[in-house]
Amino acid sequence: MFPNLFHHISPQTPPDYEAGFVKEVEVTHRQPRSLRLERLLIAGWILIAIKSVAVVWAVQHYHVPFSPLWVIVPTVAFASLCTGVYCWRR
C-alpha cells in the first residue's frame, strides 16, 4: 500500500536513472608482491625462531613449571595466519 502511495506522490524517475550505478567490476591483474614486506615477513620468522629457542632455554634453565609450548604455539599460529593472508591474497 505505501509503495504505491509513495510512487504517486514522488516524481517519476528519469529513464537514464539506472545508468548512474556500477553494474559490474572486474579485476584482471594481481597487485605485485612487495619485496619490502616479504623481507619483513622473513625477518619476523627469524625473530620468532630466536624467541622460541630463548623461551625453551629459559624454561629449562630457570625450571619454570609450564611448558614452553604455551608461548611458542600461539606465536607460530598467529604468524602463520598473517603469512597465509599475505601469500594467498587476491
Return the closest-CA partner of residue 47 out of 9, 75, 71. 75
Whether residue 81 contacts residue 41, with contact meaning beta carbons closer than 8 Å, is answered with no
Domain ranges of the chain: 2-87
- For the segment 26-38, what is each residue's pLDDT rounded down to a tens digit? 877 777 888 999 9
Report which of residues 14 and 31 the model is more confident about: 31
- For the segment 60-76, what is each residue's pLDDT rounded down to a tens digit? 999 999 999 999 999 99
HSE of 68 in the Cβ direction (CA atoms, 13 Å)? 13
